[in-house]
Amino acid sequence: MRLVLYQPEIAGNVGAAIRTAACFGAQVDIVEPCGFPAGDRALKRAAMDYGDGAPPVRHVSWASFLKSPERSGGRLILLSTRADRTIFDAQLTDEDLFIIGQESAGVPPEVRAACALTLKIPLSDGARSLNSATAAAITLAEARRQEARRGAAPPRLIFHIGHPKTATSYLQQAIALNEPALCGAGIRAPVRFRHIGDHDHRALAAAGLTTSGNAQPIFFAFERGDGSVLDAYAPYADGERDLLLSSELFFYYPQFVEIVANYFRALGYRIEIVCYLPRYERALITGFVQNVRNHAFQNGVVDFIETTRAHRYCRFAAVLDDIEARCAPDKIVVRTFDREFLNQGDILMDFLDVLDIRNPSAIEAPERRINESPPLEVIEALRRLDPKRYARLRRAIIKRTAAPGRPESSRIFQHYYTPEVKAAVEREFAEDRRALISKWFADQPEVADFWRTIPAAAEESPLSDYELRRALTDAFAAAPARRARKERSDEPVAAPPTEPDHER
């Protein structure tokens, strides 16, 4: 790479250009005549001692330069304010020769005609031109940046797809809160999507609210058959920094994961898929509870296994094999969602380790537990209430019991993990368990032993109607008071309920 100064007029600019070229490993050619004597003190003062190691080569004329050994090889590229393309749009190489004209007159037509490319440095409106030495510095820096990028591995698309109920809401809130810190660590995490009908995820996270991650707009658009939503993410794909997407909604939709992977692979990204898996019995119970709460599932856990078989729920090995076959990712990271196997026993620390964040202390953790399960009694009440007959009551229960005073996950698991459910887990997931261990955990003996273990189950102990009524009464009493809605005069007054007290 060479810097060619055509008939320069200011010694200080030449000295600064010599120093700049030396710093970027480029050679300097000076096409004479110059506007100052060869021994000018201003030149020496600006160049300091940088010209001693690789002194500039002087040419008595443009014709002499064209015939010189220094001209052989790469393209002549003229820097001009009149160019259409910018240095950032062109592919610059180590063989290029960059020509900078006179400070006052630029270059004559014959020099312009000899150049393979004419490029400019984009300036703000009203600005006429840069100092020649400054222009040289910007151009050489961009050329070296492009060279380093070509030599480096392509950036990663890190696609965190869950599994559901593996602290995904917590991680997604952490991602949104730490968008600037992640960007500083070389990872872009898109968070603002109001322009496509979604949310500003960082603003929601700051308010303590949760979403299904910064990839949820993609999922919902795919459900509608709209693949153009990915174009809203393209501005974040600068081709240099890694890109982080997260949504547990994708885990059981390999066909959607495939579309995302292919889109960003075409933009030059390596595809890295990250998932956290709870052991089968845990995943089953948490999935069952989530479906009771969110989708009005009313039967038992064994029935839930039957109902979700077609969707391959908890068939981890089968789903991962499908994702691998469809997407051909560069890497799939499968982590066990259990404190024993998480880095420092913490999901956020483990996730930051997967992301290769070198300064995890710069990442802010959310202030509290997020998206906790409601009390066991609430889950049981919802399971027993007909979703059509008691739709309003169900909504009220969900809304006013969504933030329990203590974690309920262990108590809920013990209640629903009965001997019948244990037998169903052993029967239904044996083949998938073997496949998962052999492919993903064979080189981790302790993790493999954990996955082979099926914990003992407790005998079922049904909750009484009294316990349910008491728990709901306490939950409603503890919920924040809501302002009464002002009734409109044209709305009919609802009739009092006619159900017996024990059903109300």
Tell me the C-alpha distance between 252 and 320, whole Å.
9
178 closest CA partner among 370, 351, 369: 351
> HSE on the CB side for 268, CA within 13 Å?
13
H helices of 152-279, in order, are 168-177, 179-184, 201-206, 216-223, 254-266
Q: What is the pLDDT of residue 150?
A: 76
Helix (H, G, I), strand (E, B), or coil: what is residue 120?
strand
Angle made by CA atoms 382, 386, 392, in degrees to the nearest 5: 75
List CB contacts of 445: < 8 A, sequence separation 6 or more.
none
Task: Cite the beta strand spans of 150-190 per DSSP E.
Answer: 156-160, 187-188
| Phi, psi torsion values for 30, nearest 5 degrees | -120, 115
SS3 479: coil
Q: How far apart are CA 343 and CA 336, in angstroms?
A: 11
Measure the CA–CA gap between 440 and 448, rounded to whole angstroms.
9
Rg (CA), the chain: 33
The torsion angles phi and psi of 266, rounded to 5 degrees, stand at: -65, -20
pLDDT tens for each residue of 265-283: 999 999 999 999 999 999 9
- Mark out the alpha helices in 385-457 (DSSP H runs): 391-400, 409-416, 419-428, 430-440, 445-452
Specify the pLDDT at position 463: 81
Which of 410, 390, 407, 406 minimizes the C-alpha distance to 398?
390
Cα 437 to chain center, whole Å? 28
Sheet containing 57-59: give its strands across: 57-59, 27-31, 2-6, 97-100, 76-79, 117-120, 85-86
pLDDT at residue 151 in the model: 66
Question: Low-confidence residues of the chain, pLDDT below 50?
Answer: 404-405, 483-504
**For the chain, how are helix, strand and coil distributed in percent, rounded to 5?**
50, 10, 40
- CA–centroid distance for 249 within its chain: 15
Type of residue numbered 478: A
Cβ–Cβ under 8 Å, residues 252 and 162 = no
- CB 332: neighbour CB atoms within 10 A? 17
DSSP annotation of 463: P
Q: How far is it, in rounded angstroms, from Cα 127 to Cα 131? A: 12
pTM score of the predicted model: 0.70
Q: What phi and psi, each to the nearest 5 degrees, are found at residue 277?
A: -115, 125
> How far is the C-alpha of 316 from the C-alpha of 252, rounded, in Å?
9
What angle is formed at CA 178 by the lines to CA 175 and CA 183, rounded to 5 degrees? 100
What is the model's pLDDT at position 491?
44
Report the C-alpha gap between 159 and 137 in whole angstroms: 37
Domain chopping of the chain, boundaries = 2-151, 156-371
Tell me how far apart the alpha carbons of residues 80 and 106 are, in angstroms, rounded to a whole number.
Answer: 8
How far is the C-alpha of 346 from the C-alpha of 167, rounded, in Å?
A: 10
Contact of 483 with 312, CB cutoff 8 Å = no
Instruction: Decide yes or no: CATH 3.30.365 for domain 156-371.
Output: no
Query: What is the three-class DSSP state of 198?
Result: coil
* Cis upstream peptide for 163 (omega within 30°): yes
Residue type, 440: W
Packing angle of the helix pair 316-327, 254-266 (nearest 10 deg)? 30
371: helix, strand or coil = coil
Alpha-carbon distances of 50 from 17, 28, 35, 36, 140, rounded to whole Å: 10, 11, 21, 20, 16
Cα first-last separation, the chain: 83
CB-CB contact of 97 with 71 (8 Å)? yes
CA 383 distance to own-chain centroid: 36
pLDDT for 55 equals 82
In 10 A of CB 133, how many CB atoms? 24
Please report, for residues 47, 72, 104, the alpha-carbon distance to residue 58 in angstroms, rounded to integers and kept in the order given.
Answer: 16, 16, 20
CATH class of the domain at 2-151: alpha beta
